[in-house]
Amino acid sequence: MSGVTTHLYQVRTLYKKILLLHRTLPLHLKALGDQYVKDEFRRHKNIAPQEAQLFMKEWEAYATVLLKQAKEEWGTAGGKKRYGTELSEEKLNYFREEQIGQLLELMQEATKPKPQFDVEEFDRK
């Protein structure tokens, strides 16, 4: 495989892995996460190789955290689940203003009160 083909394979594999891991999230977070991932991967389609390495590294770290949290959830019953991790000030300093705005929007959307009814509730009956 050529370098470009290998890179595309790695990107697609990571993308699919993340979407699969999103299946472990509550329905409203899954929908939000899926849309965000699709937008981000599409937005970064033609970036420079150095930026692509950082992009892949950060999304791999995200997938690792999701997998760890999913495994923890499988081992526990009930209780309030916490998803994701906090961003360090060091990482925030690397973000552009536009990215900070996106993070703020994402945080606001993710922390909205849960809808009164879950689609899953009706599917089970």
What is the full per-residue pLDDT of the chain (125 aa) written as tens digits?
577 788 889 999 999 999 999 999 988 889 999 999 999 999 999 999 899 999 999 999 999 999 998 888 776 665 557 777 888 888 888 888 888 888 888 888 878 776 655 555 555 44
Half-sphere exposure of 46 (CA within 13 A, CB side): 0
d(CA 6, CA 33): 26
Is residue 63 within 8 Å of 21, Cβ to Cβ?
yes
The predicted pLDDT at position 35 comes to: 94
The predicted pLDDT at position 125 comes to: 46
**All structural domains of the chain with their residue ranges:** 3-75
d(CA 73, CA 63): 15
Q: By C-alpha distance, which of 84, 23, 35 is closest to 58?
A: 84
